[in-house]
A and B are shown apart, each in its own frame.
Chain A
Amino acid sequence: MSSHSKLFLTVLVSIGLLAAPALAFDFGRPATPEEIKLWDIDVGPDGKGLPDGSGTAARGKQVFSDNCAVCHGENGQGGIKDRLAGGQGTLASSVPVKTVGSFWPYATTLYDYIHRAMPYSTPGSLSVDETYAVTAYILSLNGIVAADGKVDRESLPKIRMPNRDGFIPEPEFDPAKLFRKK
């Protein structure tokens, strides 16, 4: 940062601390809790961010067929886009098949990704229950959830994905050690 910018920053922070906050808010405006809620869609591996609701694999089979099969194939295989099922036991082979069942470490990521990015042409168009249902269906295709199984905000974070321990953090950015106090 240039010395000018540093000075600007120092002055701004000083004003913010000493005077009314209105001056510090000259750049931008406060975000209200209601509007933050509209955009705050991320889901953590502990399940934080998952909404109320639930979905069954059986319901998900229909939602998947209507919205997802055109790209991913009827059973999450054979489509033009990413294969979603199978592949377990192939990661150490010369032809690894990376799917939700063989590679993804967290089931929460599946809900998050379907909700934010899928279906490709109309992202965010599935309801909360439909999103849980598709999540349950894809997990059932991989033998992780029973064919008559159901997922919700309580159960999804508790699912232990087959490849949960398949990742080695790069030492420079290992989340477990990065910001530990020395």
Chain B
Amino acid sequence: MTSKAPIELLPRPANLSRRGFVGSLSAGILGAVATEAAGAETLADVPDRAPGADLSAHSERSRFARIDRIPEATPGKRNVDPGDAINSKTPHQKLVGNITPTDLHYERSHSGVPDIDPAQHRLLIHGMVGKPQVFSVDDLKRMPSITRVVFIECTGNGWENWKKADPDLTVQNTHGHVSTNEWTGVPLKFLIELVSKDQGSNWMLAEGGDGAGVDRSIPLTDEIMNEAFVAYGQNGEPLRPAHGFPMRLVMPGFEGNLNIKWLRRLKFGNAPWMTRWETARYTQLLADGKARQFQLRMETNSVITQPSGMMQIKPGDNRISGLAWSGHGRIAKVEISTDGARTWKQAQLSQPVLSKAQVRFQMDWVWDGKPTRIVSRSTDDQGNAQPDRQSFIAAMGTNALFHYNAQQTWSIDEAGRVRNVLA
């Protein structure tokens, strides 16, 4: 077993035979099975069973399943030195199911990842409240808690395809800034009761304990009051430092930057503070030079992850699979076109389909070997449909930089090569 190299699903290594590579793809997207498919012609070739490694404190991934995020700087500057990276993208092309593994959840940090001792961390809640309070992590853990599966998406997700589509991009590059985890924490409403928020306060400033002190103004709509929570748990364990340890705000359906990590202050007021993040940064520049502001909700979206950019398929049975999500609510349906958006078929959704969480969609497809284009489009339970690229760009122009949710098209050539294209 030791002689076998880990399978890299993309890009296709030059020294790997087409047969071996295609075989690995069709056998499964998790590498381990694929290795055997490439290496064991008969059952006699399969290595004998033997006692395995010692048990350990952590369950590591198989060394045959190489799955990594991509550290990235600005659009187009990929695989940079981690010291120059500002984010790290989820490898959707190598994942299955609805949940993102904790260590592969995308990361966008604005001043690195602080090393916070929870015993010394405090949350201050003040401003227009009757009783300004200081809470410790232990205080939060003694409070009533909720657990909810929620996607978090960077408002910059999709930024690679605003103006052009580099053909060599994987879905990790085009859509790696969205992930779904199960989060556990205390409802914002409960904290608000504890500090006796003034009736007249309808905006909240949330501020992080990172070097940048990232802060956002959040309108206290009924929906946000009912759904926002301060999380300390992630997929059954304490938050990972990269995702806000020891506590973060979770804002189901709203842009990633509002989900303040390393949360240390909530201040109540009656107007937005116009922070750098909601003025200079996460506003959408339109073609006429005006910018949309407080576009806080993430849109109805979907993307095919299998097959996707830089993969290769062969004629015959193929399984199309991908992810859909909406900041408005539950995904109601996902349709797939295998003929360049001329005709559409409804895909199956992997249960459970949860509000403001990613859901996997799937469909069987027999590829006839002719060049074509595949694309998905989602619709949520509020009736919001994911726009085609043409109408999306017509409305938003190509300078907006944030909140890209146009349909993603992958082209397939006569050799089965899957590439990123604009529709």
Contacts and interface: CB of A to CB of B under 8 A. Distances in A.
A1 B190 CA distance: 9
Contacts of B213: 41, 116-117, 123
Interface in A129-181: 166-170, 172-175, 178-179
Given A36-B132, A123-B211, A179-B202, 9 more contacts: A31-B134, A40-B267, A92-B289, A117-B213, A167-B290, A168-B292, A173-B296, A174-B294, A178-B221
Nearest to A45: B274
Interface residues of A, number: 55
Interface stretch (A59-67, A69-77, A105-113): A105-113
B290 A9 contact: no
B285 interface: yes
Nearest to A92: B289
A179 B200 CA distance: 10
A25 to B, nearest CB: 8
Given A2-B146, A44-B274, A123-B213, A24 B290 contact: no
Contacts of B267: 40, 42
A106 B288 contact: no
B132 A166 contact: no
B135 interface: yes
Contact of B133 (A4, A30, A96, A109): A30
Nearest to A5: B144
A72 to B, nearest CB: 14
B297 interface: yes
10 contacts: A21-B131, A27-B133, A39-B265, A117-B111, A120-B211, A123-B213, A167-B279, A167-B283, A170-B295, A175-B219
B292 A24 contact: no
A117 B211 contact: yes
Contacts of A178: 202, 219, 221
A94 B393 CA distance: 13
Interface string B266-282: 01010111111001100
B215 A116 contact: yes
Contacts of A36: 124, 126, 132
B135 A27 contact: yes
A44 B205 CA distance: 11
A92 B287 contact: yes
A170 B131 contact: no
Interface in B131-151: 131-136, 139, 142-146
Contacts of A16: 196
A117 B275 CA distance: 12
Interface string A4-34: 1100110011001000010011011111000
Contacts of B274: 44-45, 105-106, 108-109
B293 A92 contact: no
A4 B143 CA distance: 11
B366 interface: no
A117 B133 contact: no
Contact of B144 (A1, A42, A98, A103): A1
Interface string B285-323: 111111111111100000000000000000000000000
A128 interface: no
A117 B277 CA distance: 12
Given A42-B205, A91-B285, A28 B194 contact: yes
Contacts of B131: 21, 24-25, 30
B399 interface: yes
A14 to B, nearest CB: 11
A21 B195 CA distance: 11
B189 interface: yes
B202 A112 contact: no
Nearest to A33: B132
Contacts of B133: 25, 27-31
Contacts of B276: 104, 109, 112-113, 117
A86 B342 CA distance: 46
B31 interface: no
Contacts of B194: 12, 24, 27-28
Residue among B142, B203, B272 facing the most chain A CB atoms (10 A cut-off): B272
A105 B205 CA distance: 19
B162 to A, nearest CB: 11
B212 interface: yes
B212 A123 contact: yes
Given A1-B146, A42-B215, A123-B211, A109 B275 contact: yes
A166 B193 contact: no
A57 to B, nearest CB: 20
Contacts of B145: 5
A43 interface: yes
B247 to A, nearest CB: 13
B272 A13 contact: no
Given A42-B215, A42-B267, A105-B279, A170 B290 contact: no
Nearest to A176: B271
